[in-house]
Amino acid sequence: MKLKVTKKPTMATTKKNDKKKKEKQKIAKEKRTSDKKEERRNKKLLKSNKKEKVRDRLKKIDLRDEEDENAQSSDYKEASEPDSPGRGIPKGDAPSNSTIEAPNYNDAHTSGNDDDESYFSVEESDSSEDEVAPRNTIGDVPLEFYKDEEHIGYDVKGRKIKKKGRTDNIANFLKINDELNDEEVELSRKEIKIIRRIAEGKTPHADVDPYAPYVDWFDWDGKGHPLSNAPEPKRRFIPSKSEAKKISKYVRAIREGRIKFDKPKEEPKVYLLWGDDSSSSEKTRGLYTSLRGVPAYENYLKECFNRLLDLYLCPRARKKRLNVTLESLKPKRVDPKDLKPYPTTCYVEYKGHNGAVVSISTESTGQWIASGSIDGTVRIWEVATGRCVRVWEVGSAVRHVAWNPLPNQPILAVSVDQDVLILDTGLGSEEEQRKISDLLQFEKPAIPDESGDADIVSWHSDDKLGGLRLKHFKTVSSIEWHRRGDYFSTLSKKGSQRIPFKLHGLPISTTFHPSRSIFFIATKKNVRVYDLLKEKLIKKLDTKLREVSSMAVHPGGDNVIVGSREGKLCWFDMDLSSTPYKTLKYHTKDITNVAFHRSYPLFASCSEDGKAYVFHGMVYSDLNQDPLIVPVRILQGHCISNRNVAGVLDCKFHPRQPWLFTAGADSVIKLFCH
């Protein structure tokens, strides 16, 4: 046995050993980094060499492709000429056996040269991360989800793939953008050739013959005849193993009693009709002649009593007396408080006329109101304050005023005796006033009108009032504007009318349909509805009144109200019938005018008795439900004297609010609000 004596390590020796280890580690790290740098340089050199080789190889391949295409095209031409000897397909060979050999690029061009590596080996790439770009792995997720993000997706390791900036340069016209991977793929010449051939309608590859002869791969006996339509023989039937398992399963369940079938119902046994079933069948039939002879029959006494009633000519069914009261027969009355809002009290009075106010008209915005009186003046009032803004003196009694329905054309039409004045109110903006001044300019035509309109209407410019003057042959009683504001109709009760259809009777009132090309004309007895496009009569409403005085159409266009000289008001539902749906008798004297509200379910009537009635008229969209008509308010306030017996001459609703304007013979206009 040998014993080794070792010294104890001191601090100095341990420090020296640590320094040596650190120096060795540094040297090893430096060697590793230098080796990695050399490997990277070698890889870059290899890449550059490979790229140059690939480019040279691609150039050679493109030249070969061109030569092959030229050679093949010449071969196809020679094959298409059968008369030329030594060319095309030989006569003895079948066309199906002819083949075209593709050029082999792995023969003499690629073998025996270390520098010229094969084309297919060049395409093989290393699996290092430096050479292969990161591929997007989002799958079926739409690219629209990444529009507002800085990245386009994630690679295999879950790292974000940032978006690249795209450049629009002429030099990059051969590149295609790959949206999925956010890359620009450069097209090779071969791919460009394929794309060009597809665009020209040719096959993508030049070595494909699109007109090759058809080869039938199947051969059978009697192929000159069509296929037989005979049913399949039983020997071709292959039993299904899964169905056999199911059948055996069901059979086992039936045997074990787990599946039970409904038992057939047993037919009732034959029994004696009049005899006892418990007795033997040897008893004779017909023990009782009827059910009344059977002992302990329940309805015996009742049937005897009914038989006696028949003998005494009494009815068997007794009529029950109905307990009907007078209150149950009365219709349910609607409380007017539930039908608000509607006008109730006088809010503003417009005073300034010296005679009876015959007609009033509200502007489409509801800010202004125009009035015409028999004192020969036309006034425009501000609705909110009652201030008179403008006055025109027309020289004689005004019969009717009508405001243009368009808000950007503040034009007023006034009928004065045989003339119709179209006046500029001057209430619009400067641009609107400029358009209106251009619109109201009139120049006399150099060639006279020979169509016959000159006998009825003649146009003149009125410098005094600042507008146009239309002179008619007879007195004009009313004016009605079309909803678009580019047409209006005038009515002369004692003269002929310029309309494209024949009219029966004296016209009293006219109006346009609120939404369709339909025209309403009211005569003394009837209301005629005409189609302006087809120029024919659509419907005739029979009023059954003595004389019609006024008419108004519901904003929906399917309902019409008509006022009469006898104080009656008729409501017509044109979809329901041509006769009045309801006739209301509230006024004691002649009704002067009727009006509908544009947006609220309200309509009103005014009369010579000095009263204006406000009604709630709800029209439902359900055709099976009848309109609801309820009188809600009586409006009074106009003075009636021995001299003034006309009462209320006109009434109009505010276009936006549930307010009512009334014009009286006492030269006052009143505004009733809710």
Q: Is 240 a domain residue?
A: no
- Among 214-218, 361-365, 598-602, the minimum mean pLDDT is found in 214-218
For residue 649, give the nearest of 662, 661, 640 by alpha carbon.
662
The DSSP bridge partners found for residue 461 are 468
165 touches 186 (CB < 8 A)? no
**pLDDT grade for 58, boundaries at 50, 70 and 90:** low
**pLDDT (0 to 100) of residue 336:** 81
Q: Is 51 a domain residue?
A: yes
What does the pLDDT look like over 363-419, one tens digit per residue?
988 888 999 998 889 999 998 888 888 898 888 888 899 988 888 888 888 988 888
Q: Is 268 a domain residue?
A: no
Q: Is 355 a domain residue?
A: yes
**pLDDT (0 to 100) of residue 225:** 67
Q: Is 220 a domain residue?
A: no
Count of structural domains, the chain: 2
**pLDDT grade for 72, boundaries at 50, 70 and 90:** low
**pLDDT grade for 309, boundaries at 50, 70 and 90:** confident
493 touches 503 (CB < 8 A)? no
569 touches 627 (CB < 8 A)? no
List strand residue ranges (DSSP E) for 130-285, in order. Answer: 151-154, 160-162, 175-178, 183-186
**pLDDT grade for 116, boundaries at 50, 70 and 90:** very low
Q: Is 642 a domain residue?
A: yes
- Is residue 422 scored above 80 in pLDDT? yes
Residue 117 tokens read as 């590596």
For residue 293, give the nearest of 280, 303, 307, 284 by alpha carbon.
303
Report the predicted TM-score, pTM, of the whole model to 2 decimal places.
0.51
- Among 156-165, 303-312, 496-505, the minimum mean pLDDT is found in 496-505
81-90 average pLDDT score = 39
Q: Is 4 a domain residue?
A: no
DSSP conformation class of 454: G
**pLDDT (0 to 100) of residue 247:** 93
What does the pLDDT look like over 156-201, one tens digit per residue?
888 888 877 665 544 455 677 777 777 778 888 888 889 889 999 8
**pLDDT (0 to 100) of residue 563:** 92
CA dihedral over 376, 382, 383, 385, signed as positive or negative:
negative
615 lies in the same domain as 471: yes
196 lies in the same domain as 342: no
What does the pLDDT look like over 34-48, one tens digit per residue?
888 888 888 888 877
What does the pLDDT look like over 578-597, one tens digit per residue?
899 999 998 888 899 999 99
CA dihedral over 79, 81, 85, 91, signed as positive or negative:
positive
- Among 255-259, 463-467, 663-667, the minimum mean pLDDT is found in 463-467
Domain end among 200, 233, 251 = 200
Domain end among 152, 171, 200 = 200
**pLDDT (0 to 100) of residue 276:** 52
Domain end among 168, 200, 232 = 200
Exposed/middle/buried for residue 83 (C-beta within 10 Å: 0-12, 13-18, 19+):
exposed
379 touches 391 (CB < 8 A)? yes
For residue 467, give the nearest of 405, 416, 407 by alpha carbon.
416
What does the pLDDT look like over 546-586, one tens digit per residue?
889 999 999 988 899 999 998 899 999 988 888 999 999 98
Q: What would the 3-class secondary structure string for 627-660 be?
A: CEEEEEEEECCCCCCCCCCCCEEEEEECCCCCCE
The DSSP bridge partners found for residue 491 are 478
What rounded mean pLDDT belongs to the chain? 77
Contacts of 653 (CB under 8 A, 6+ apart): 362, 595, 596, 597, 598, 600, 602, 604, 659, 660, 661
- Alpha-carbon distance of 219 to 20, in angstroms, equals 88
Contacts of 250 (CB under 8 A, 6+ apart): 259
The CATH number for 571's domain is 2.130.10.10
DSSP conformation class of 135: P
**pLDDT (0 to 100) of residue 560:** 93
Write out the residue range of the structural domain in which residue 646 sits: 336-673
Measured in whole angstroms, the distance separating CA 7 from the mean position of its chain's CA atoms is 102
Q: Is 607 a domain residue?
A: yes
- Count of other CB atoms within 10 angstroms of residue 554: 21
**pLDDT (0 to 100) of residue 660:** 92
**pLDDT grade for 152, boundaries at 50, 70 and 90:** confident
